[in-house]
């Protein structure tokens, strides 16, 4: 089965309305062939980005809460993210796991809720440097994936993002071989624990210091189906990453 290449731009806590007005036209004027592209601005900018961004690219939230509404000061719901124009939400990002202490269980509940209201999920997993050096990489990503997979019945609404924590924002990108090894293991895990169909159809994308310079070699790996890009998604170079397969 062919998996459509998928590139997400995670702006994290960056961007303003002025930035949207100058940067989005650059994205809109760029070629993007045979690739699914999703831009994830901070939540106050979702509606503006949706209004300005080309129709063929999607918009994602960076997080959401696990119920529709209520006394949850500071949160946004999956319903609200959808209401203002998001089709996707990033869940389980390592910054949510570490800085905001989100557990596998909480992330799984969020995944279940988002999918239940047809908000698609970019589900992030990845090991720390200490875990990698202790030889625990696969144990960690299998544990994180198992929690998420337990809540998924329709895998067409899910993209898995392998983001080794040691590669995020550090300039230390995983080598193509290191990333491919984990991606292939994740795909095998899906075959054994979910289904052959989920394994062959689900996009597994890589994130962590992806740039215009390193994206082409990573994109050549058989089990790397795209990227989740942080810092470089705020620069015109993002377009080169979108077109890494061309």
Question: Nearest approach, Cβ of 234 to ligand 13P (angstroms)?
Answer: 9
Query: How many helices (H) and strands (E) are present in the chain, helices listed first?
Result: 11, 8
Active site residues: 93, 163
- Of the two residues 95 and 223, which places its CB atom closer to ligand 13P in the complex? 95
Residue found under tokens 């082409």? 216
CB-based burial label for 168 (10 Å; 0-12, 13-18, 19+)? buried
Question: Nearest approach, Cβ of 8 to ligand 13P (angstroms)?
Answer: 7
Structural element, H or E, at residue 137 = helix 137-149
| Buried/exposed code over 41-54 (b: 16+ C-beta within 10 A; e: otherwise) | bbbebbebbbebbe
Largest CA distance in the chain: 48
Question: Nearest approach, Cβ of 75 to ligand 13P (angstroms)?
Answer: 20
How far is residue 201's CA from residue 183's CA, in Å, rounded to a whole number?
A: 13
How far is residue 156's CA from residue 169's CA, in Å, rounded to a whole number?
A: 29
Question: Nearest approach, Cβ of 86 to ligand 13P (angstroms)?
Answer: 16
DSSP state of 65: B
Contacts with ligand 13P, residue ranges (CB under 6 A): 10, 93, 163, 168-169, 207-210, 228-232
- Of the two residues 72 and 100, which places its CB atom closer to ligand 13P in the complex? 100
């Amino acid at each position: 089965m062919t998996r459509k290449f998928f590139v997400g731009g995670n702006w994290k806590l960056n961007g303003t309305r002025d930035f949207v007005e100058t940067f989005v036209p650059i994205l809109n004027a760029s070629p993007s062939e045979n690739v699914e592209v999703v831009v994830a601005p901070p939540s106050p900018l979702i509606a503006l980005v949706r209004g300005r961004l080309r129709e063929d690219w999607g918009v994602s939230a960076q997080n959401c809460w696990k119920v529709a509404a209520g006394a949850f000061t500071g949160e946004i719901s999956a319903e609200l993210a959808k209401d203002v124009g998001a089709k996707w939400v990033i869940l389980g990002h390592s910054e949510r796991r570490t800085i905001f202490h989100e557990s596998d269980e909480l992330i799984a509940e969020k995944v279940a809720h988002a999918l239940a209201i047809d908000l698609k999920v970019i589900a992030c997993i990845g090991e720390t440097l200490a875990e990698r050096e202790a030889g625990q990489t696969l144990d960690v990503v299998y544990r994180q994936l198992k929690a998420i997979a337990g809540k998924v019945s329709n895998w067409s609404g899910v993209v898995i993002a392998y983001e080794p924590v040691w590669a995020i924002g550090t300039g230390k990108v995983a080598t193509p071989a290191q990333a491919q090894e984990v991606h292939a293991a994740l795909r095998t895990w899906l075959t054994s624990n979910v289904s052959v169909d989920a394994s062959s159809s689900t996009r597994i994308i890589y994130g962590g210091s992806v740039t215009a310079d390193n994206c082409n070699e990573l994109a050549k790996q058989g089990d790397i189906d795209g990227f989740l890009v942080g810092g470089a998604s705020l620069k015109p170079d993002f377009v080169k990453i979108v077109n890494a397969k061309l």
